[in-house]
Amino acid sequence: MFGLHPPEIRPSAAALLAVGRSDAEIASVLGVGRSTVRDWRHAAPAASLSAICPRCWRRSRAIAFEPGDYAELLGLYLGDGHILRIGRSLRLRLSLDSRYPLIVAETASLLARVFPANRIGEAVRDEGHTRILSVDHSHLACLLPQHGPGKKHTRRIRLEPWQQAAVAIAPWRFLTGCIRSDGCAFVNRTGRYEYLSYDFSNRSSDILDLFVGACDHVGVDCRRYERHVRIYRRASVAAMLGHVGLKA
């Protein structure tokens, strides 16, 4: 079925099908005919996708590939997450600030929704200051293909078309994941004035670019620096407050 197209078409088509994109949207993103996409959809009905990896189409433990949840998970991973090999499987670890138990609880719930057949682990590090949530799954490298050797800021970080589609559907969820993992909301004081601001810090220039791109998509005005992005314009802060909220 996929033999007439480049090998990377298969995972991209599978993932776009899994996040609910229309035949026309998938055809436009991948540069194939709508009839081809229709044939792929009939060959892999949505009901069966929970039993296979939505990217490589191999059998795996259940994965709930909903675009909003995925966009937030991607933001969490890019912000302060990493993947390591544990025996024959892979482990995703997300580092969160212990001062924000609600964020920790909601992130654990997110992982449970995305990986409903897997146990969510939790550990305390840095004398109680850091909570690390983890989940083991053999297809993590499929869902987060930015995984690779070394630290994220030492390698190129580019989203694949199906990831771009998920972020385009749920840009606020992506920004939420970024802020919750490697960002903050704080009161900026200048003389007698004080105002709420948001900041996202990362050593990867590529990841900062992705954050700025999502801000542009939703109309949030931000200022890019070498290792962080600052949001302080009143209307943009109000939008962030309404969609992302405060860290709490």
Q: How many domains would you assign to the chain?
A: 3
Residue 196, in any domain of the structure: yes
- Would you state the pLDDT for residue 27? 77
Verify that 40 and 81 share a domain, yes or no: no
Task: For residue 78, give the nearest of 175, 215, 199 by alpha carbon.
Answer: 175
* Residues in the chain with pLDDT values less than 70: 1-21, 40-51, 54, 248
Residues 141, 75 within the same domain:
yes
Same domain, 109 and 182: no
Contact 178, 199 (CB under 8 A): no
Residue 183 has what pLDDT?
94
pLDDT value of position 134: 96
Which pLDDT score is estimated for 47?
Answer: 35
The confidence score (pLDDT) of residue 13 equals: 66
Q: Based on the fold, state whether residues 181 and 140 are members of the same structural domain.
A: no
In this prediction the pTM is: 0.79
- The pLDDT score that the predictor gives to residue 49 is 38
Nearest CA among 111, 109, 200, 217 for reference residue 164: 217
DSSP state of 108: H
Interstrand relation of 89-97 and 130-136 (parallel, antiparallel or unpaired)? antiparallel
Q: Which of 124, 155, 186 is the last residue of a domain?
A: 155
Cβ burial, residue 91 (10 Å; 0-12/13-18/19+):
middle
Q: Which of 107, 132, 155 is the last residue of a domain?
A: 155
Structural domain for 38, as ranges: 9-51
CA angle 161, 236, 81 (to 5 degrees): 45
Q: 37 and 77, same structural domain?
A: no
Any domain includes 58? no
pLDDT for position 15: 58
**Rounded Cα gap, residues 65 and 54, in angstroms:** 7
Of the three residues 134, 155, 176, the one that is the final residue of a domain is 155
The predicted structure's pLDDT at residue 220:
98
Mean pLDDT of the chain: 85
Would you state the pLDDT for residue 18? 56
Q: Residue 19: which of 127, 177, 160 has the closest Cα?
A: 160
Q: What is the pLDDT of residue 22?
A: 77
Any domain includes 127: yes
CATH number at residue 180: 3.10.28.10
Q: Please give the pLDDT value at position 20.
A: 61
pLDDT in tens, 181-199: 999 999 988 878 889 999 9
| Residue 171 confidence (pLDDT) | 97
